[in-house]
Amino acid sequence: MEESLISRCKELLMLEERDPNGYSPLVLAYLGDAVYELVIRTRVVNRGNTQVNKMHRMTAGLVKAEAQAKMYMLLEEELTEEEQAVYRRGRNAKSATMAKHATMRDYRMATGFEALMGWLYLNGRLERLTELVSLGLKKMGEL
């Protein structure tokens, strides 16, 4: 089911085949930021109807750099060598900007985590992506 959905999206959007390893770590983080936020928003919305402002605050608390850095630290031992290498590429990438309310350490760790999320998504590994996020949320006491 998962692979056919990804294949169907590629077909309908007329996407070219590209190797996810060919993207810069900041491009992977750019996409991973959106993918991770969508997963978190899906979880927040699934808790039931509530005021959108409250949902936004719950989501923001889990997608900010500090929370992403914490999630990575809780997941680090669960990652494969390949996943750790993608994370390190993202963490070590030189960005021209920095989050307003984050330490440099948290920001870099979050960028690495987002790069991993983007890489998993582009590789069609949605099950692994959601498995990691689920495990991280459990370890953070959010599930």
Euclidean distance between CA atoms 37 and 59, whole angstroms = 8
Query: Annotated catalytic, 33?
Result: yes
Q: Helix axis angle, 81-92 relative to 25-46, nearest 10°?
A: 110
Euclidean distance between CA atoms 103 and 44, whole angstroms = 26
Q: How distant is the alpha carbon of residue 113 from its chain centre?
A: 6
Active-site residue, selected from the candidate residues 23, 28, 29, 33:
33
Euclidean distance between CA atoms 47 and 56, whole angstroms = 13
Side chain identity at residue 34, one-letter code: A
CA angle, 35 as apex, 43 and 91 as ends, to 5°? 115
Count other Cβ atoms within 10 Å, centred on residue 123.
16
Please give the positions annotated as active site: 33
